[in-house]
Structure 1
C-alpha cells in the first residue's frame, strides 16, 4: 500500500516539482493529490501540465482546480483575457503555450476540464484549493468559484483562539465536518512560514512557489514533509510572480 501525498501550488515550477518527487522517492503505488494552481508564474506552465498528464498514467492522481487553472482554461477555450489574470501570472502561461500544437492544446483543455473542485477521501479528509463558505459543508455551495477563490476559511482559521476545541460551542461549523482539511491558494509565507502550516484541523500546503518559496508535499498519514529548493533558484533570470 502506497502513501497518500498532498502537493501544494506549483505555478509553472516544473523543475521544482521534479526535484520534489525525487526527494519523495515516488513509487507507482503512491497516490498524489494536487491542490491546484499548476500554471501562471514560471516559464514551464504548459510543460508542467504536460508532465502531470504523463504522471497520471503512472500514479493515481487527483487534480483539484485552482483559480489560476480556471482562468487559464477560459483563455485556452475562448481566448478570454482577464486583465487581473495577466497581471498575476497569466502572461507567463500565454507565452508558454505559443508553440503548442492543436493536439497538445486539446489534451490540456481536457485536463483542465476534468479537474475536481474538491475531493473527500474515505477517512473524512477534505482537499480543496481555497475553501468553501457554506456552514453545511462544500456539498452545499451555491457557486463553484468559492472552491478555488475563497480565502475566508483560511482567514477564519488564523483568527481562532488556539485554546478553542472542536467540541466547544463556538468552534466554527465549517471545520466540524471533516477530520482534516488540506488547502493551498494563500501562501503561508504571508504569515512568515516556509513550511506547510497547521492550525485547528486545517493544513495549508501553499509555501509560495510562485514567489520565493518551495513546492511542498505532506504525507497525510505520517505528516512527513518534503520540499523542493526555493523555486526561484531553479529559474535564474526569471521573475515569476514577483
Structure 2
C-alpha cells in the first residue's frame, strides 16, 4: 500500500500493542495526531494484554483525528483465521487469545462486534512512503513489497533472518520481535519494545528519529526524545 502524505503531516509508526489500551491511549495523547498526520500501526493489536477490545475501539476512533494505516500482525491474522476453524481457534487461545476473548465478555468469538471484524479485515500487509517501508515483522530484501510472502511479513522476526538492505533503498520500520529497547540497524529499525511482556509501547517518527514511549499502564517514559537508542525499562 502506497499513500502520499500531505505536505505538513508527520509519519509516525506505533509498535506492537498486544491488548494494552491504556498504553495506546496514553501514547496517542502524547503524539497529539493532527488530520495531516499518518499513523502507521504495525500490528498485533490483540492477545496477551487485558483489553484487546479497547485497543481496537481506540484505533477505530483514531481514524477521526488522522490518517490511520493499520498493518496486520500475526496475532491479528490468527484471530481472523479462528472464526471458522476449530484448530485455528485453539491455536489462537494458546497464543494469548484468552485475554482477547475475555475482553469481549464471551468464551468464544461471537462477542466481537461486526465493526471490529471489519477493522481487522481492513488491515494492510505493508505501507510504503518515498523514504520508508513498514511491515509487521520483516521483509525479503530483493522482493518488491507487493510480492512479499505473508510468512515473512508477519511471522519471521528480524532475529531469524540476516538483516539486509531492501532493494528499494528505503529504511524498514518493523515490530514483532520484542526487546527491551529500539534496535536501529541503520536500514531496519525494530520498534517492538515488549508491550505485552512487561515492556513499553513505542511510537517512532522515521524522518526525525523522534520517539515516544509509555508503560503498559499508560505512564509516559519518553516524550519527543530524538535519540532512537533509548532503552525501555
TM-score by structure 1 length? Answer: 0.78
Deviation digits for residues 207-229 of structure 1 (CA, Å, limit 9, x no counterpart): 00011111100112111110012
Q: 1:107 aligns with which of 100, 115, 118?
A: 115
SS in 2 for 1:226: strand
- Cα deviation for residue 102 of structure 1 reads 6.8
Q: 1:182 aligns with which of 173, 177, 185?
A: 173
**Corresponding position of 2:125:** 117
**Corresponding position of 1:35:** 42
- Cα deviation for residue 87 of structure 1 reads 2.5
**Corresponding position of 2:69:** 62
The structure richer in helix per residue is 1
Change (3 A) 1:180 1:114: same
- Higher-Rg structure is 1
Whether 2:84 is the aligned partner of 1:98: answer no
Q: 1:223 aligns with which of 209, 216, 229?
A: 209
2-structure distance, mates of 1:126, 1:134: 12
2-structure distance, mates of 1:56, 1:67: 22
- Cα deviation for residue 179 of structure 1 reads 1.8
In structure 2, the gaps of 5 or more residues are 1-7, 220-233
Whether 2:135 is the aligned partner of 1:149: answer no
User: Is the contact between residue 5 and residue 217 of structure 1 (CA under 8 Å) also seen in structure 2?
Assistant: yes
SS in 2 for 1:26: coil
Whether 2:194 is the aligned partner of 1:208: answer yes
2-structure distance, mates of 1:84, 1:77: 13
- Cα deviation for residue 125 of structure 1 reads 1.4
Deviation digits for residues 32-77 of structure 1 (CA, Å, limit 9, x no counterpart): 0000000001111012111111111221010000000001122245
Paired positions, count: 211
Whether 2:95 is the aligned partner of 1:88: answer yes
Change (3 A) 1:59 1:79: farther
User: Is the contact between residue 105 and residue 111 of structure 2 (CA under 8 Å) also seen in structure 1?
Assistant: no
The structure richer in strand per residue is 2
2-structure distance, mates of 1:152, 1:216: 17
User: Is the contact between residue 140 and residue 152 of structure 2 (CA under 8 Å) also seen in structure 1?
Assistant: yes
In structure 1, the gaps of 5 or more residues are 158-171, 235-242
**Corresponding position of 2:223:** none
Runs of 4+ in structure 1 over 3 Å off: 76-84, 99-104, 152-155
SS in 1 for 2:162: helix
C-alpha root-mean-square deviation of aligned residues, in Å?
2.5
Which stretch of the first structure deviates more once superposed, 88-97 or 179-188? 88-97
TM-score by structure 2 length? Answer: 0.80
2-structure distance, mates of 1:101, 1:131: 29
